[in-house]
Amino acid sequence: MSLAFTHTAEKPVADKTDRPNIIIILTDDQGYGDVGFNGCTDIPTPNIDRIAKNGVVFSNGYVSYAVCAPSRAGLITGRYQDRFGYSRNPLYRPFDESIGLPLTEQTLPEMLQKTGYATMGIGKWHLGVHEKFRPWKRGFNEFFGFLGGGHRYLPHEYNIAEQDSAKNEGQSYRTKLIRNEKVVEESEYLTDALSREAVSFIDRNSQQPFFLYLAYNAPHSPLQATPKYLDRFGHIKDTKRKTYAAMVSAVDDGVGRVLDKLQELQLTDNTMVIFLSDNGGPESDNASDNGPLRAGKGSLFEGGIRVPFAIQWPRQIKVNSRFDQPVISFDIFATIAANVKGAAPKNKLDGVDLLPYLHGTKKGAPHEHLFWRNYDQKNFAVVHSSGVKEVVLADTATSLYDLKADIGETVNIAGKEKKLLLRFEQERKKWISITVPPAFYGLNQEKQYEEQKKLKKDY
């Protein structure tokens, strides 16, 4: 028998449900400050905010990497992606079986499938284009979307018929969408199409436990929106910000459709709905806003790795909650594994079941330290449960910040904390010992990739 919160309970109460429905809603390149529950004023997000109001906001919610694909690899495996070399955004090479999420890694849907869940992935994959890495081979009964790292939003621009016909990342943005292995002739704006498919999946699977991974492409570039959404933002004069706002609003509408369908089918109480972005916003690229945070996508400062993060699950999580200790995206896997009857993770998880902390049965912080590494730039970051953060740039320049007093990382306190610096260095070295180098070349490394390919062929 599991423990659960009612809407008003101060203490957990018993509930027999042990296989909740699970929905992960993941946006792409959305700024920390671009949701209402983090203070956004120019882009209304009433439906995303419903998740926050109906559950818990993680004010110190992180992802495991500052760019798309490695962040997704951490989320879907429950592990630091550096454990298995998925620490770059991969090149789009459909026939290279070395570029993708290693088959040694169990995915969240693979684990849930074994307990009888219906599973569906929707939207952006970015975890391998070769046939053996595709979603329907990695735990999803159904998949609707695209395999690469991004996509265009207007269907008349989908002029490459097959996923395998795209020769690089740019071309992959123009591929037709797929439903598992079949090409789809889509007519709707991309975000609306993904929302449509999500609602359909819930409707078709309401009588059994289901897992839905709804990975919106928005508001990742290219900035494209339809008049329906653009017309809502006449008050925003900056053209780029206006289009970005329209794209976020389209996502918010989709989130509303999902939540409304759950309510219609009386599934709300026993459905865990998780919302987060895959990394911080690239402010100059898509006009996102990371609020008070320093830097953005690609950076190990807070703007690159701290994201809007909220979970609702009325039978387990008290409404209007806030949790201020650091948590990270791979805690999602661990929390699900601990609260689904029969779930058995194959590999050692780096995440922690968050429910005991939310219930108050466990005190303190879920993690003493959290770690990040940008292998190519030789950058590191470590966050301690106290709120002190170390940033190491190019493996030489070290800074310390007290995030509780200085969320914008403006005051370097390293000069006053020599003992703490030594402690961080020791912890970082221990963490590095469990990691491996990147398993494949990434974006912007095409020259090295082609040279390596030629060497192998000559050999």
Residue from 40, 68, 151, 367 carrying the catalytic annotation: 68
Report yes or no: 286 and 220 within 8 Å, Cβ to Cβ.
yes
E strands in 83-167: 118-124, 142-146
Residue from 40, 126, 220, 367 carrying the catalytic annotation: 126
Question: 3-state secondary structure string, 192-253?
Answer: HHHHHHHHHHHHHCCCCCEEEEEECCCCCCCCCCCHHHHHHHCCCCCHHHHHHHHHHHHHHH
- What would the two tokens of residue 255 be? 């989130």
3-class DSSP state of 327 = strand
Going by C-alpha positions, the residue among 195, 297, 197, 287 that lies closest to residue 242 is 287
Written as one letter, the residue type at 67 is V
What whole-number distance in Å separates Cα of residue 126 and Cα of residue 245?
Answer: 24
What whole-number distance in Å separates Cα of residue 27 and Cα of residue 219?
Answer: 7
Residue 38's contacts (CB-CB under 8 Å, 6 or more residues apart) are: 32, 291, 308
The reply to whether 40 belongs to the active site is no
The reply to whether 126 belongs to the active site is yes
301: buried, middle or exposed (CB in 10 Å: 19+, 13-18, 0-12)?
buried
What residues are paired with 3 via a beta bridge? 14
Angle between helix 46-53 and helix 239-264 axes, rounded to 10 deg = 50
Report yes or no: 345 and 333 within 8 Å, Cβ to Cβ.
yes
Residue 48's contacts (CB-CB under 8 Å, 6 or more residues apart) are: 35, 36, 37, 251, 252, 255, 275, 308, 310
DSSP secondary structure letter of residue 442:
B
Buried b (16+ CB within 10 A) or exposed e, 157-189: ebebeebeebeebeebbbbbbbeeeeebebeeb
Q: Alpha carbon of 301 to those of 188, 382, 393: distances in Å?
A: 37, 10, 10
3-class DSSP state of 350 = coil
Instruction: Express the helix, strand and coil content of the chain in percent, nearest 5 each.
Output: 30, 20, 50
Q: What are the residue numbers of the active site?
A: 68, 126
